[in-house]
Chains A and B, each alone.
Chain A
Amino acid sequence: MAAQPAIEARQLRKTYTTTRGIFRRERVERAALRGVDLKIAPGELFGLLGPNGAGKTTMVKIFTTLLLPSSGSALVLGLDAVKEQWALRKRIGFVFGGERGLYWRLSGIDNLRYFADLYRIPPDVSRRRISELLERLDLSGRERDRVELYSRGMKQRLHLARGLLNDPEVLFLDEPTIGLDPVGARELRVIVRELADAGKTVFLTTHYMFEADAICDRIAVIRDGAIVAEGTPSSIKTVVRDQGIVEFEVVGMPVERLAGLRRLPGVTSVAISEHELAQVVTVHCARPAEVMTQLGVILDGVNLEKVSSREPTLEDAYVQLIGDSQ
């Protein structure tokens, strides 16, 4: 990474101060970021993964000049997000997930024209760019409809069009596919990948592991305001490299049988999720073949279905990384 990073955080910290209590008010401090160091190269599609409240949105808001850090520095395109916000805002775009952030009672094109003026784009440039973006994001033909008549996917594409109005060199996307149907989310992921392929630096936060795995060049996992892992999706998976996953479905498994599973040699974790009337049991272990042979003994008499063994995914690595703290 010899070139100047497109995005850089040095010992970035953010602490929110609030009060609690009615009569005896007490100041409470909550650390959202605890000394984050990060470097993202120009043209990279970088994914930030983490559970709710881990500090993802706080980091995006600092880089997009909406929040000031408590200490440390945040640089985007070499500009200080704290002191050089006016120069920086012209060169970055951002999209927050969800349906809010648009004027629902105005048409899509009116929303774009308004923000183009606020981004101080010359009228001839904005006319051409809005037309291109409407075409590219499949909103042509509906641009004069009020936004309230748009589907969620269309609203999200309009958000993206707004974020691209100033042709930003760096684009921040905070959970852009949240709430979208699978087809809409996939379409958006294709567009985001195309933007990165066209040379834009993209900083993406997401809950969806497969999304990060599919499109990101590099990812980081954030937990309680600190980065706990960083690298390519395949390098993150090495956290669980020596492990395999055994999954099976059961109906009404007694709790003591679970304890028996956990005691098996090489088993690192056992998780259960509900699936219709059955429970899906996921066993992380060092030697999947041995676990599978022991299943019949431990689950003797239990209605056992769909036993399978698979390679660990990014989600498994994420669960392991996040789970370590919980």
Chain B
Amino acid sequence: MRSLARASLSAFRVSLRLRVISTWSYLNWLVFPVLFAVVGLYVLSRPGAASSHVVYGVLGGGLIGYWSVAYLDGGNGIQEERWNGTLEQIFATPTRLWVILLGKITGGLLFGLLAFLPTAAIAYLGFHAVLPNLDPGRFAISLGILTFSFFCIALTLTPLFALWRWAFSMLNGFELGVYILCGFMFPVAVLAPWAQGVAALLAPTWAVRALYASTLSGGPRDFVVWWLATIGLSLAYLAGAYFLYALVERKARISGQLALA
């Protein structure tokens, strides 16, 4: 058990190191979130815009950056291992793939949290946007539960990318879909009814709703329901992941798809 924890911790450290020296990861946690935040804040800060929506500008860019890094660590991370030729190497060790990915994804999540720093700085310094009604306790719990949901999604999607290369081609589509469906930059209520139905099945939708509610004074405040919905859906994803990993360990050995060949 101890050696498994050490293997996962080692994967966590390697993931962080690779992110720190990767130019691409700076685009995800720094450049893109700042761009989204600036555009969002510019639109939402104009005279006549609802003041309650400014929070979407303050937090939206950070959420996008956080999701991008967390998600790409799962999807792109496994593809990077394939390109490096290291996917077979780690697969053939006595440590199960999910233990290694658990460490890698946790590293990505920690790095992804950085995305909130530049967007908060831009909001405060560039647009004088603050969150006067912030409830720090509920905000922290919501962010923690959101992190758990990101973790579960990344852990579930990663075996798909390891197993089926075609799944990787859907990477960008799913990344953008979650921005929109989970209400990162605007409320889910503005979406078409069918899209709201899809959004309800995505765990981050409920955590994001709780996160925004914790920064506002009015509106619905069903925090416990939202948190439980996020946790429940995330656990359902994890249950799916359990079967996916078993499938990966068998199918990859039949098809030999871990190599770049």
Residues of A within 8 A of B (CB): 16, 58, 61, 64-68, 86, 89-90, 94, 96, 98, 100-106, 110, 113-115, 117-120, 122-123, 162
B86: A residues at CB distance < 8 A: 100-103
Task: Check if B21 is an interface residue, CB within 8 A of chain A.
Answer: yes
**Nearest 7 interchain pairs by C-beta:** A100-B85, A117-B10, A120-B3, A101-B85, A118-B93, A89-B94, A68-B253
Are A117 and B7 in contact, CB atoms less than 8 angstroms apart?
yes
**Apart from the given pairs A96-B85, A105-B18, 18 other A-B contacts in the complex at a CB distance below 8 Å:** A58-B256, A65-B253, A89-B92, A89-B94, A101-B84, A101-B89, A103-B84, A103-B86, A105-B21, A106-B14, A106-B18, A110-B17, A117-B6, A117-B7, A118-B94, A118-B95, A119-B95, A120-B6
Are B84 and A118 in contact, CB atoms less than 8 angstroms apart?
no
Are B18 and A118 in contact, CB atoms less than 8 angstroms apart?
no
Are A66 and B92 in contact, CB atoms less than 8 angstroms apart?
yes
16 example contacts (A-B, Cβ-Cβ < 8 A) are as follows A67-B253, A68-B250, A68-B253, A89-B93, A96-B88, A100-B260, A101-B84, A101-B88, A103-B84, A110-B17, A114-B10, A117-B6, A117-B10, A118-B95, A119-B94, A123-B6
A58: B residues at CB distance < 8 A: 256
Q: Which of B3, B90, B250 has the most CB of A within 10 A?
A: B3
B100: A residues at CB distance < 8 A: 118
B95: A residues at CB distance < 8 A: 118-120
Residues of B within 8 A of A (CB): 3-4, 6-7, 9-11, 14, 17-18, 21-22, 84-86, 88-95, 100, 250, 253-256, 258, 260
Q: Which of B89, B90, B253, B255 has the most CB of A within 10 A?
A: B89
Across the interface, A113 reaches (CB within 8 A) one of B10, B91, B250, B260, namely B10
Looking across the interface, which residue of chain B has its beta carbon closest to that of A166? B94
Q: Is the interface of B mostly helix, strand, loop or mixed?
A: helix
| Separation of A162 and B91 alpha carbons in the complex (Å) | 14
| Separation of A181 and B121 alpha carbons in the complex (Å) | 54
A68: B residues at CB distance < 8 A: 250, 253-254
| Separation of A113 and B253 alpha carbons in the complex (Å) | 26
Across the interface, B256 reaches (CB within 8 A) one of A61, A94, A120, A122, namely A61
Are B88 and A66 in contact, CB atoms less than 8 angstroms apart?
yes
Q: Which of B17, B94, B258 has the most CB of A within 10 A?
A: B94
A104-B84 CB under 8 A given contacts A90-B94, A110-B17, A118-B90 = yes
Across the interface, A122 reaches (CB within 8 A) one of B3, B10, B14, B254, namely B3
Are A66 and B258 in contact, CB atoms less than 8 angstroms apart?
yes
| Separation of A103 and B81 alpha carbons in the complex (Å) | 9
Across the interface, B84 reaches (CB within 8 A) one of A64, A66, A100, A120, namely A100
| Separation of A67 and B21 alpha carbons in the complex (Å) | 33
Looking across the interface, which residue of chain B has its beta carbon closest to that of A32? B256
| Separation of A119 and B95 alpha carbons in the complex (Å) | 7
A90: B residues at CB distance < 8 A: 94
In the assembled complex, the CB of B192 is this many whole angstroms from the nearest CB of chain A, namely 34
A102: B residues at CB distance < 8 A: 84-86
Q: Which of A58, A86, A105 has the most CB of B within 10 A?
A: A105
| Separation of A98 and B93 alpha carbons in the complex (Å) | 19
| Separation of A122 and B93 alpha carbons in the complex (Å) | 15
A110: B residues at CB distance < 8 A: 14, 17
Q: Which of A58, A102, A110, A120 has the most CB of B within 10 A?
A: A120
A66: B residues at CB distance < 8 A: 88, 91-92, 253, 256, 258
